[in-house]
Structure 1
Amino acid sequence: MVFSVATLGLLLLPGFCLGEDFGYDGNHGPSHWGEEYHACIGKHQSPINIEEHNVKNVSLPPLKLFGIDNPSLSFVANNGHTVMLKINESKAAMLSGGPLENDVYVFEQLHFHWGENDYEGSEDLINNHSFPMEMHAVFYKEDYKSINEALNHPDGLAILAYLYEVSPNPNPMYEPIVQVLPEIETVGNEKALREPLLLGRLFVPDTATMQDYFTYNGSLTTPPCLEVAIWIDFKDHQRLSHEQLAAFRDLRTQEGNKLTHNFRPVQPLEDRIVLHNIPREQNTPKNIPRTYHRFDEHSGQRDVKVPFSIIALGVLFAILLFAI
């Protein structure tokens, strides 16, 4: 799959000026990206394989999303590389907290990566396990005013990554997107969703698991592979049916071939440390009921301690009994 310069108007991150084609196969595939884009052979590249036994547990400030509960007019486009969704609203959703601390990041777009079957397709792996699809929600740092400027800074982007599993039932939250995919089969086509989209349903499908994620510093996963991204990978997996996943594979490349796979292989972790955020409430000891039993490590016996009030009642009962 090779994507020509003609498709750059709808590229993953607007504003890039690429000098050559790139793709996922043959001479244009990921193993050759570094020949033209030197950042692609950098030390802090994405995606990676996250090994849970090799992460550092931390408790970061709560991750916060704003402006995600307002219905938004949205459209999706086929750029020959992915399905990209953008919001046609002046007031964008925003992200802060977690590894971003007090910095605010503005939503730019979201897009998907998938494989040719239901067993591979995600870019990041968890314990060497691949998932059939991954969604990236891309935010740029508000201080930099635009995504183009943000690409010049090591903390320019924050990317929320969502992994998917196969479900026997379709996910209704994604049906508005899946329904219009046949209408953007050809490169360059774009289509407005038939009804306003609630980003909150995509970004926070379950508030109980929102704070359980991995985070690390990395790069864009397509050329020019700039190392400007703070990645946040949620541990909770979303679910799509086989039919919903298959609908993405019917999109076409610039050459008219089916876009069956568009994921970059994992890159070396090098000297980076992946953090696993443990929600603070899980780290706070719960109120433990008062107990009068203590395990004596030396004797191996349980030393039973009885409250004074119970002893006093026992003595009083004995006195009354003898008085009778």
Structure 2
Amino acid sequence: MNFYMSFLLSAACCLVNGHHDFGYDGSMGPSNWPQEYSNCAGKYQSPIDIEEHLVRHVRLPALKFQGFDATPVSSTLTNNGHTVMLQLKTVEEACISGGPLLGRYVFSQLHFHWGSNNSIGSESTINNHSFPLELHMVFYKDQYGNFDEALKHSDGLTVIGLFYELYGPGNSVYNEIVEMLPQVTAPQTNTKLEKQITLGSLLPEDRLLYFTYNGSLTTPPCSEVVTWIEFKQPILLSEPQVAAFRKLRTDSGLMTHNFRPVQPLSGRLVLFNMAEAYSSADLKHYSVTVLLMSLLVHTVFKR
């Protein structure tokens, strides 16, 4: 069997192909995207603020992660001028199914969003709380064959969102990515990771609690074809690890921030998956613990 390149160059996310004429400030900023990309003014856009008191609690089928623990043959880190993106060359396709998904979705690429300081950066927010960093794993539905074709269908894509908080000396799993960032400081540059990282190692330990809703890509063309899966448990990184992303550059200067503001919910229903293993008391304790951790982290780093 030939090696499979999970990221298809001809089917990359809008962050790579054909949508370079947008930015996050001034005339190229998010408020002006609809002038060039009409979908960006759509009714069901992403990101959103997830208000936990408004979500519907459900128990969905288990998420299935196929190939997430397979070590890639090689991994390419790219600064495309809007974000830093990781592409994997693998023997076995990494796929996700189950949960809210009808069918199997194939991994395409992952990328990050961050802010100019530690109080902002994530695209999605929870109860109006922003995180300093957010990761998006992008997948296309395998029945459509590739990313470009999947963009034409309302169920074409799914994106896994991961939130990050600042705490401790650092996260060793993410060291390889962070340590290679200086190699892609300039826009339109790339490098190979020296140590391979599995997709599974990037996920939070708790993969049972997550929010899900229907939305869009958060960059042009803003296609409303995405089933979002946002894990509740944040992943801990050190302040230097997050700060390293702000040293990357665009064509016009430092890439200090690259997140789209939250969009109107427009009546959409956000589901929160509750696993059987959690009681209502467990969930309440879990939410309080996450809130206290967030407050502690922000208090420490604002000193």
Structure 2: distance between partners of 1:143 and 1:283: 37
Question: Could you give the per-residue CA deviations for residues 206-235 of structure 1, whole angstroms, max 9, x where no partner exists?
Answer: 1xx201000000000001100010000000
Structure 2: distance between partners of 1:80 and 1:14: 9
Task: Identify if the C-alpha distance between structure 1 residues 244 and 14 changes in structure 2 by more than 3 Å, giving closer, same or farther.
Answer: closer
Specify the alignment match of 2:146 in structure 1: 146
**Aligned: 1:275 with 2:276:** no
- How many residues were matched structurally? 271
- Cα RMSD between the aligned structures? 1.8
CA contact (8 A) 1:10 1:79 kept: no
Offset of residue 69 of structure 1 = 1.2
CA contact (8 A) 2:11 2:147 kept: no
Structure 2 counterpart of 1:177, one-letter code:
I
Structure 2: distance between partners of 1:14 and 1:250: 19
Secondary structure at the residue paired with 1:88?
strand
Specify the alignment match of 1:94 in structure 2: 95
TM-score by length of structure 1 reads 0.80
Specify the alignment match of 1:23 in structure 2: 23
Secondary structure at the residue paired with 1:77?
strand
Offset of residue 16 of structure 1 = 4.4
Specify the alignment match of 1:295 in structure 2: none
Offset of residue 15 of structure 1 = 7.3
CA contact (8 A) 2:162 2:231 kept: yes
Specify the alignment match of 2:208 in structure 1: 211
Aligned residues: percent identity?
A: 51
Question: Could you give the per-residue CA deviations for residues 98-135 of structure 1, whole angstroms, max 9, x where no partner exists?
Answer: 0004x100000000000011110000000001000000
Structure 1: distance between partners of 2:134 and 2:169: 18
Unpaired segments ≥5 residues, structure 1: 1-7, 285-324
Q: Give the structure with higher Rg (CA).
A: 1
Question: Could you give the per-residue CA deviations for residues 185-224 of structure 1, whole angstroms, max 9, x where no partner exists?
Answer: 0111111111122221002x31xx2010000000000011
TM-score by length of structure 2 reads 0.86
Secondary structure at the residue paired with 1:32?
helix
Secondary structure at the residue paired with 1:176?
helix
**Aligned: 1:234 with 2:231:** yes
Structure 1 counterpart of 2:62, one-letter code:
P
CA contact (8 A) 1:14 1:148 kept: no
Secondary structure at the residue paired with 1:45?
coil
Specify the alignment match of 1:171 in structure 2: 171
Structure 1: distance between partners of 2:61 and 2:10: 37
Unpaired segments ≥5 residues, structure 2: 1-8, 281-303
Structure 1: distance between partners of 2:101 and 2:11: 28
**Aligned: 1:67 with 2:63:** no
**Aligned: 1:250 with 2:251:** no
**Aligned: 1:161 with 2:158:** no
**Aligned: 1:134 with 2:131:** no
Offset of residue 13 of structure 1 = 3.6
Structure 2: distance between partners of 1:15 and 1:111: 11
Structure 2: distance between partners of 1:283 and 1:143: 37
Structure 2 counterpart of 1:219, one-letter code:
S
One of 218, 222, 237 as aligned partner of 1:225: 222
Alignment of 1:281-320 (within 5 A): 281-282=277-278
